[in-house]
Structure 1
Protein backbone atom coordinates (compact mmCIF):
# COMPACT_ATOMS: atom_id res chain seq x y z
CA UNK A 1 0.00 0.00 0.00
CA UNK A 2 1.21 3.48 -0.83
CA UNK A 3 2.01 5.22 2.45
CA UNK A 4 0.36 8.39 1.14
CA UNK A 5 -3.06 6.68 1.49
CA UNK A 6 -2.54 5.62 5.10
CA UNK A 7 -4.03 8.79 6.71
CA UNK A 8 -7.09 8.50 4.46
CA UNK A 9 -7.59 4.85 5.39
CA UNK A 10 -7.39 5.66 9.11
CA UNK A 11 -9.99 8.42 8.68
CA UNK A 12 -12.39 6.09 6.87
CA UNK A 13 -12.03 3.35 9.46
CA UNK A 14 -12.63 5.70 12.36
CA UNK A 15 -15.66 7.32 10.73
CA UNK A 16 -17.37 4.14 9.54
CA UNK A 17 -20.55 3.39 11.57
CA UNK A 18 -20.05 -0.34 11.15
CA UNK A 19 -16.55 -0.24 12.61
CA UNK A 20 -16.76 2.52 15.21
CA UNK A 21 -18.57 1.07 18.20
CA UNK A 22 -19.22 2.32 21.73
CA UNK A 23 -17.95 -0.35 24.09
CA UNK A 24 -19.10 1.53 27.14
CA UNK A 25 -17.11 1.95 30.35
CA UNK A 26 -14.72 -0.87 31.14
CA UNK A 27 -13.74 -1.09 34.81
CA UNK A 28 -13.62 1.71 37.37
CA UNK A 29 -12.41 5.14 36.26
CA UNK A 30 -10.79 7.64 38.60
CA UNK A 31 -10.08 11.30 37.92
CA UNK A 32 -6.39 12.29 37.52
CA UNK A 33 -5.69 14.40 40.59
CA UNK A 34 -1.86 14.25 40.65
CA UNK A 35 -0.49 17.53 39.22
CA UNK A 36 1.86 17.36 36.27
CA UNK A 37 5.50 17.01 37.35
CA UNK A 38 6.68 19.79 35.06
CA UNK A 39 3.99 22.08 36.45
CA UNK A 40 5.18 21.31 39.97
CA UNK A 41 8.78 22.14 39.02
CA UNK A 42 7.72 25.34 37.28
CA UNK A 43 5.63 26.40 40.25
CA UNK A 44 8.46 25.64 42.65
CA UNK A 45 10.94 27.64 40.57
CA UNK A 46 8.59 30.60 40.39
CA UNK A 47 8.18 30.56 44.18
CA UNK A 48 11.95 30.33 44.69
CA UNK A 49 12.48 33.21 42.28
CA UNK A 50 10.00 35.42 44.16
CA UNK A 51 11.59 34.56 47.51
CA UNK A 52 15.10 35.22 46.25
CA UNK A 53 16.13 31.61 46.85
CA UNK A 54 17.47 31.19 43.30
CA UNK A 55 19.78 34.18 43.64
CA UNK A 56 21.08 32.87 46.96
CA UNK A 57 21.70 29.42 45.50
CA UNK A 58 23.52 30.94 42.52
CA UNK A 59 25.73 32.99 44.84
CA UNK A 60 26.56 29.89 46.89
CA UNK A 61 27.38 27.93 43.74
CA UNK A 62 29.57 30.79 42.49
CA UNK A 63 31.40 30.99 45.81
CA UNK A 64 32.01 27.21 45.88
CA UNK A 65 33.25 27.26 42.28
CA UNK A 66 35.67 30.12 42.94
CA UNK A 67 36.92 28.41 46.10
CA UNK A 68 37.49 25.14 44.22
CA UNK A 69 39.40 26.92 41.43
CA UNK A 70 41.54 28.88 43.90
CA UNK A 71 42.23 25.80 46.00
CA UNK A 72 41.41 22.48 44.32
CA UNK A 73 40.75 19.36 46.36
CA UNK A 74 44.12 17.96 47.56
CA UNK A 75 45.35 14.64 46.25
CA UNK A 76 44.84 12.08 49.00
CA UNK A 77 47.40 9.54 50.19
CA UNK A 78 50.61 11.48 49.48
CA UNK A 79 53.24 12.00 52.17
CA UNK A 80 56.46 13.94 52.53
CA UNK A 81 59.38 11.80 51.38
CA UNK A 82 61.63 10.48 54.15
CA UNK A 83 64.04 8.61 51.87
CA UNK A 84 65.27 9.03 48.32
CA UNK A 85 64.06 6.59 45.70
CA UNK A 86 64.62 6.20 41.96
CA UNK A 87 62.91 3.85 39.53
CA UNK A 88 62.11 3.55 35.84
CA UNK A 89 58.61 3.60 34.39
CA UNK A 90 57.84 1.92 31.06
CA UNK A 91 55.01 3.86 29.32
CA UNK A 92 54.49 1.14 26.70
CA UNK A 93 50.86 0.18 26.20
CA UNK A 94 49.19 -2.71 24.37
CA UNK A 95 46.50 -1.55 21.95
CA UNK A 96 43.06 -2.94 22.76
CA UNK A 97 41.68 -2.14 19.30
CA UNK A 98 42.90 -1.33 15.80
CA UNK A 99 44.01 2.28 15.27
CA UNK A 100 42.69 3.73 11.99
CA UNK A 101 43.47 6.94 10.15
CA UNK A 102 40.89 9.36 8.70
CA UNK A 103 40.54 7.14 5.61
CA UNK A 104 39.79 4.08 7.77
CA UNK A 105 43.19 2.60 6.94
CA UNK A 106 44.77 0.61 9.75
CA UNK A 107 47.84 2.23 11.26
CA UNK A 108 48.34 -0.17 14.14
CA UNK A 109 46.52 -3.42 14.75
CA UNK A 110 45.06 -4.64 17.99
CA UNK A 111 47.68 -6.18 20.29
CA UNK A 112 50.52 -3.99 19.07
CA UNK A 113 52.79 -2.64 21.79
CA UNK A 114 53.29 1.12 21.46
CA UNK A 115 55.65 3.39 23.38
CA UNK A 116 54.35 6.99 23.21
CA UNK A 117 57.87 8.32 23.77
CA UNK A 118 58.85 7.05 20.32
CA UNK A 119 56.66 9.71 18.72
CA UNK A 120 56.03 12.30 21.45
CA UNK A 121 59.01 12.84 23.77
CA UNK A 122 58.60 14.36 27.22
CA UNK A 123 59.96 17.83 26.45
CA UNK A 124 59.93 19.10 30.04
CA UNK A 125 60.45 17.38 33.37
CA UNK A 126 57.45 17.14 35.69
CA UNK A 127 57.94 18.24 39.29
CA UNK A 128 55.26 17.11 41.73
CA UNK A 129 55.08 18.96 45.03
CA UNK A 130 52.92 20.10 47.92
CA UNK A 131 52.25 23.80 47.30
CA UNK A 132 51.56 24.39 50.99
CA UNK A 133 55.07 23.26 51.95
CA UNK A 134 57.50 26.23 51.73
CA UNK A 135 60.51 23.90 51.68
CA UNK A 136 59.21 21.98 48.68
CA UNK A 137 58.48 25.24 46.85
CA UNK A 138 61.97 26.55 47.58
CA UNK A 139 63.52 23.32 46.36
CA UNK A 140 61.36 23.16 43.21
CA UNK A 141 62.37 26.65 42.13
CA UNK A 142 66.04 25.75 42.58
CA UNK A 143 65.79 22.87 40.10
CA UNK A 144 67.20 23.04 36.59
CA UNK A 145 66.17 23.37 33.86
CA UNK A 146 63.75 26.18 34.57
CA UNK A 147 61.37 24.79 31.94
CA UNK A 148 60.19 22.00 34.24
CA UNK A 149 56.44 21.92 34.81
CA UNK A 150 55.43 22.46 38.42
CA UNK A 151 52.48 20.24 39.32
CA UNK A 152 50.79 20.78 42.66
CA UNK A 153 49.03 18.04 44.59
CA UNK A 154 47.91 20.52 47.24
CA UNK A 155 47.78 24.29 47.52
CA UNK A 156 46.53 27.38 45.73
CA UNK A 157 47.87 27.45 42.15
CA UNK A 158 46.47 30.86 41.16
CA UNK A 159 47.85 32.53 44.28
CA UNK A 160 51.25 30.96 43.71
CA UNK A 161 51.29 31.98 40.04
CA UNK A 162 50.65 35.57 41.03
CA UNK A 163 53.27 35.55 43.78
CA UNK A 164 55.96 33.58 41.93
CA UNK A 165 55.28 34.72 38.36
CA UNK A 166 55.51 31.11 37.22
CA UNK A 167 52.88 28.80 35.78
CA UNK A 168 51.60 26.09 38.11
CA UNK A 169 49.50 23.05 37.24
CA UNK A 170 47.36 20.89 39.51
CA UNK A 171 47.02 17.11 39.50
CA UNK A 172 43.22 17.09 39.45
CA UNK A 173 41.88 13.92 41.03
CA UNK A 174 45.40 12.59 41.48
CA UNK A 175 45.39 11.02 38.02
CA UNK A 176 49.06 11.67 37.24
CA UNK A 177 50.45 10.65 40.61
CA UNK A 178 48.33 7.50 40.46
CA UNK A 179 49.49 6.76 36.89
CA UNK A 180 53.15 7.09 37.89
CA UNK A 181 52.52 5.45 41.29
CA UNK A 182 54.03 8.39 43.16
CA UNK A 183 53.57 8.01 46.91
CA UNK A 184 55.91 10.65 48.36
CA UNK A 185 56.81 14.25 47.56
CA UNK A 186 58.62 16.06 46.12
CA UNK A 187 59.16 13.96 43.00
CA UNK A 188 60.48 14.49 39.48
CA UNK A 189 59.52 12.63 36.33
CA UNK A 190 61.84 12.96 33.32
CA UNK A 191 62.71 10.97 30.22
CA UNK A 192 65.58 8.52 30.01
CA UNK A 193 65.64 7.03 26.52
CA UNK A 194 62.45 5.02 25.99
CA UNK A 195 61.68 5.04 29.71
CA UNK A 196 60.58 7.60 32.28
CA UNK A 197 62.68 8.10 35.38
CA UNK A 198 60.80 8.78 38.61
CA UNK A 199 62.74 10.20 41.54
CA UNK A 200 61.39 10.93 44.99
CA UNK A 201 63.56 13.25 47.10
CA UNK A 202 63.88 12.83 50.85
CA UNK A 203 63.36 15.90 53.01
CA UNK A 204 66.27 16.47 55.35
CA UNK A 205 65.98 17.75 58.90
CA UNK A 206 66.70 21.24 57.58
CA UNK A 207 63.51 20.87 55.52
CA UNK A 208 65.40 20.84 52.21
CA UNK A 209 65.05 17.79 49.95
CA UNK A 210 68.23 15.75 49.89
CA UNK A 211 69.63 15.24 46.40
Structure 2
Protein backbone atom coordinates (compact mmCIF):
# COMPACT_ATOMS: atom_id res chain seq x y z
CA UNK A 1 0.00 0.00 0.00
CA UNK A 2 2.82 2.35 0.95
CA UNK A 3 4.53 1.47 -2.34
CA UNK A 4 1.36 2.33 -4.29
CA UNK A 5 1.08 5.68 -2.44
CA UNK A 6 4.71 6.51 -3.14
CA UNK A 7 4.29 5.73 -6.88
CA UNK A 8 1.16 7.89 -7.09
CA UNK A 9 2.88 10.78 -5.32
CA UNK A 10 5.85 10.66 -7.69
CA UNK A 11 3.54 10.68 -10.71
CA UNK A 12 1.60 13.67 -9.33
CA UNK A 13 4.80 15.63 -8.74
CA UNK A 14 6.07 14.83 -12.19
CA UNK A 15 2.88 16.08 -13.88
CA UNK A 16 2.77 19.18 -11.70
CA UNK A 17 6.39 20.19 -12.39
CA UNK A 18 6.69 23.31 -14.57
CA UNK A 19 7.91 22.79 -18.14
CA UNK A 20 11.06 24.79 -18.86
CA UNK A 21 11.02 26.82 -22.08
CA UNK A 22 13.97 28.63 -23.59
CA UNK A 23 14.17 31.29 -26.29
CA UNK A 24 16.97 30.41 -28.69
CA UNK A 25 16.65 33.63 -30.62
CA UNK A 26 16.25 34.18 -34.36
CA UNK A 27 18.56 32.46 -36.81
CA UNK A 28 18.63 33.54 -40.48
CA UNK A 29 16.39 35.89 -42.45
CA UNK A 30 12.67 35.29 -42.59
CA UNK A 31 10.65 36.05 -45.71
CA UNK A 32 6.97 36.22 -46.41
CA UNK A 33 6.06 33.42 -48.83
CA UNK A 34 4.21 34.78 -51.84
CA UNK A 35 3.12 32.66 -54.80
CA UNK A 36 1.78 34.61 -57.80
CA UNK A 37 -1.08 33.10 -59.76
CA UNK A 38 0.62 31.41 -62.74
CA UNK A 39 -2.44 31.61 -64.96
CA UNK A 40 -2.88 35.31 -64.30
CA UNK A 41 0.80 35.91 -65.07
CA UNK A 42 0.46 34.09 -68.40
CA UNK A 43 -2.71 35.99 -69.29
CA UNK A 44 -1.06 39.29 -68.43
CA UNK A 45 1.95 38.44 -70.58
CA UNK A 46 -0.27 37.44 -73.51
CA UNK A 47 -2.23 40.68 -73.25
CA UNK A 48 0.98 42.72 -73.41
CA UNK A 49 2.19 40.73 -76.43
CA UNK A 50 -1.17 41.19 -78.14
CA UNK A 51 -1.23 44.91 -77.41
CA UNK A 52 2.17 45.64 -78.98
CA UNK A 53 1.64 43.29 -81.95
CA UNK A 54 4.25 40.76 -80.82
CA UNK A 55 1.74 37.90 -80.60
CA UNK A 56 0.55 38.38 -84.17
CA UNK A 57 4.15 38.54 -85.39
CA UNK A 58 5.06 35.34 -83.50
CA UNK A 59 2.07 33.49 -84.95
CA UNK A 60 2.93 34.65 -88.45
CA UNK A 61 6.58 33.60 -88.09
CA UNK A 62 5.54 30.20 -86.76
CA UNK A 63 3.15 29.66 -89.68
CA UNK A 64 5.88 30.67 -92.15
CA UNK A 65 8.41 28.29 -90.57
CA UNK A 66 5.89 25.44 -90.68
CA UNK A 67 5.08 26.12 -94.34
CA UNK A 68 8.79 26.19 -95.23
CA UNK A 69 9.31 22.84 -93.47
CA UNK A 70 6.39 21.30 -95.35
CA UNK A 71 7.48 22.67 -98.72
CA UNK A 72 11.15 21.81 -98.16
CA UNK A 73 11.70 19.26 -95.39
CA UNK A 74 15.10 18.80 -93.80
CA UNK A 75 17.35 16.70 -96.10
CA UNK A 76 18.07 13.15 -94.99
CA UNK A 77 21.39 13.29 -93.17
CA UNK A 78 24.39 11.41 -94.53
CA UNK A 79 23.09 10.86 -98.07
CA UNK A 80 25.52 11.28 -100.99
CA UNK A 81 25.37 11.06 -104.77
CA UNK A 82 25.98 7.52 -106.03
CA UNK A 83 29.24 7.06 -107.93
CA UNK A 84 29.13 3.33 -108.69
CA UNK A 85 26.68 0.45 -108.84
CA UNK A 86 25.94 -1.42 -105.63
CA UNK A 87 23.20 -4.01 -105.12
CA UNK A 88 21.96 -6.24 -102.28
CA UNK A 89 18.79 -7.75 -100.85
CA UNK A 90 16.73 -6.82 -97.84
CA UNK A 91 14.80 -9.50 -95.95
CA UNK A 92 11.70 -7.97 -94.30
CA UNK A 93 10.94 -11.10 -92.24
CA UNK A 94 10.62 -10.67 -88.47
CA UNK A 95 10.24 -12.98 -85.47
CA UNK A 96 6.84 -12.51 -83.81
CA UNK A 97 7.05 -11.81 -80.07
CA UNK A 98 3.41 -12.66 -79.31
CA UNK A 99 0.53 -14.54 -80.92
CA UNK A 100 -1.33 -12.74 -83.69
CA UNK A 101 -5.04 -13.51 -83.85
CA UNK A 102 -7.77 -12.81 -86.39
CA UNK A 103 -11.05 -11.09 -85.54
CA UNK A 104 -12.54 -14.44 -84.41
CA UNK A 105 -9.72 -15.00 -81.95
CA UNK A 106 -8.01 -17.72 -83.97
CA UNK A 107 -4.20 -17.72 -83.87
CA UNK A 108 -2.83 -17.08 -87.36
CA UNK A 109 0.81 -16.52 -86.38
CA UNK A 110 2.30 -18.01 -83.21
CA UNK A 111 4.80 -16.27 -80.96
CA UNK A 112 8.36 -17.14 -81.94
CA UNK A 113 7.38 -17.85 -85.53
CA UNK A 114 9.23 -16.11 -88.34
CA UNK A 115 6.84 -14.06 -90.47
CA UNK A 116 7.48 -12.41 -93.81
CA UNK A 117 4.98 -9.76 -94.95
CA UNK A 118 5.85 -10.65 -98.55
CA UNK A 119 4.08 -13.98 -97.96
CA UNK A 120 0.83 -12.02 -97.81
CA UNK A 121 1.34 -8.93 -99.98
CA UNK A 122 2.95 -8.04 -103.27
CA UNK A 123 4.84 -4.77 -103.71
CA UNK A 124 3.81 -3.82 -107.23
CA UNK A 125 5.43 -0.37 -107.32
CA UNK A 126 9.16 0.26 -107.28
CA UNK A 127 10.49 2.68 -104.68
CA UNK A 128 12.73 5.19 -106.45
CA UNK A 129 14.87 7.33 -104.17
CA UNK A 130 16.34 10.55 -105.59
CA UNK A 131 17.78 13.92 -104.70
CA UNK A 132 14.98 16.23 -105.79
CA UNK A 133 17.41 19.12 -106.26
CA UNK A 134 19.45 17.10 -108.77
CA UNK A 135 17.85 17.84 -112.15
CA UNK A 136 19.42 14.80 -113.81
CA UNK A 137 18.01 12.43 -111.19
CA UNK A 138 14.57 14.09 -111.32
CA UNK A 139 14.39 13.95 -115.13
CA UNK A 140 15.55 10.31 -115.14
CA UNK A 141 12.97 9.24 -112.55
CA UNK A 142 10.10 10.98 -114.36
CA UNK A 143 11.13 9.57 -117.74
CA UNK A 144 11.73 6.02 -116.49
CA UNK A 145 8.78 5.47 -114.17
CA UNK A 146 5.08 6.17 -114.30
CA UNK A 147 2.87 6.92 -111.32
CA UNK A 148 1.43 3.42 -111.69
CA UNK A 149 4.69 1.46 -111.49
CA UNK A 150 6.73 3.53 -109.02
CA UNK A 151 6.72 5.91 -106.11
CA UNK A 152 9.34 8.64 -106.42
CA UNK A 153 10.71 9.39 -102.95
CA UNK A 154 12.96 12.39 -102.32
CA UNK A 155 15.72 12.49 -99.71
CA UNK A 156 16.29 16.17 -100.47
CA UNK A 157 14.28 18.80 -102.31
CA UNK A 158 10.83 20.39 -102.46
CA UNK A 159 8.17 17.73 -103.14
CA UNK A 160 5.21 20.14 -103.24
CA UNK A 161 6.88 22.37 -105.81
CA UNK A 162 7.72 19.29 -107.90
CA UNK A 163 4.08 18.18 -107.74
CA UNK A 164 2.94 21.54 -109.04
CA UNK A 165 5.57 21.63 -111.79
CA UNK A 166 5.15 18.03 -113.02
CA UNK A 167 1.55 17.26 -112.03
CA UNK A 168 2.61 14.07 -110.30
CA UNK A 169 2.74 12.85 -106.72
CA UNK A 170 6.09 12.86 -104.94
CA UNK A 171 7.01 11.56 -101.51
CA UNK A 172 9.69 12.51 -98.99
CA UNK A 173 11.56 10.16 -96.67
CA UNK A 174 11.10 12.15 -93.47
CA UNK A 175 13.91 11.43 -91.03
CA UNK A 176 15.46 8.89 -93.39
CA UNK A 177 13.28 6.05 -92.08
CA UNK A 178 13.14 4.13 -95.37
CA UNK A 179 16.74 4.58 -96.48
CA UNK A 180 17.88 3.45 -93.03
CA UNK A 181 15.65 0.39 -93.25
CA UNK A 182 16.98 -0.62 -96.66
CA UNK A 183 20.59 0.40 -95.97
CA UNK A 184 20.69 3.04 -98.71
CA UNK A 185 23.51 5.57 -98.39
CA UNK A 186 23.52 7.19 -101.86
CA UNK A 187 21.00 8.15 -104.53
CA UNK A 188 19.58 7.45 -106.94
CA UNK A 189 18.48 4.06 -105.67
CA UNK A 190 15.73 1.62 -106.58
CA UNK A 191 13.95 -0.93 -104.38
CA UNK A 192 11.84 -3.68 -105.97
CA UNK A 193 10.37 -6.98 -104.81
CA UNK A 194 12.26 -10.13 -105.77
CA UNK A 195 10.32 -13.08 -104.46
CA UNK A 196 10.41 -13.10 -100.66
CA UNK A 197 13.01 -10.32 -100.37
CA UNK A 198 13.43 -6.76 -101.61
CA UNK A 199 16.19 -6.06 -104.11
CA UNK A 200 18.05 -2.79 -103.64
CA UNK A 201 20.18 -1.12 -106.32
CA UNK A 202 22.18 2.02 -105.77
CA UNK A 203 24.14 3.70 -108.58
CA UNK A 204 24.43 6.47 -111.13
CA UNK A 205 21.58 7.31 -113.48
CA UNK A 206 23.50 5.49 -116.22
CA UNK A 207 23.99 2.41 -114.03
CA UNK A 208 20.33 2.19 -113.09
CA UNK A 209 19.14 2.72 -116.68
CA UNK A 210 20.74 -0.53 -117.88
TM-score between both structures, scaled by the size of structure 1 = 0.79
Higher helix share: 2
- Which residue of structure 1 aligns with residue 155 of structure 2? 153
Structure 1 moving runs of 4+ over 6 Å: none
- Which residue of structure 1 aligns with residue 195 of structure 2? 193
- Whole-angstrom CA distance in 2 between matches of 1:46 and 1:103: 57
- Which residue of structure 2 aligns with residue 76 of structure 1? 77
SS at match of 2:133: coil
The residue correspondences of 1:91-106 to structure 2 (distance < 5 A) are: 91-106=92-107
SS at match of 2:144: coil
TM-score between both structures, scaled by the size of structure 2 = 0.79
- Which residue of structure 2 aligns with residue 40 of structure 1? 41
- Whole-angstrom CA distance in 1 between matches of 2:107 and 2:59: 49
Structure label with greater radius of gyration: 2
Work out the number of aligned pairs and report it.
181
1:179 lines up with 2:181 in the alignment: yes
Larger mean CA deviation between 146-155 and 127-136 belongs to 146-155
SS at match of 1:140: helix
Gaps of at least 5 residues in structure 2 are: 1-29
Gaps of at least 5 residues in structure 1 are: 1-28
- Which residue of structure 1 aligns with residue 166 of structure 2? 164
SS at match of 1:142: helix
**What's the RMSD between the two structures over aligned residues?**
2.1
- Whole-angstrom CA distance in 1 between matches of 2:64 and 2:174: 19
The residue correspondences of 1:24-63 to structure 2 (distance < 5 A) are: 31-63=32-64
SS at match of 1:34: coil
* Contact preservation (8 Å) 1:85, 1:200: yes
* Contact preservation (8 Å) 1:95, 1:112: yes
- Whole-angstrom CA distance in 1 between matches of 2:93 and 2:202: 22
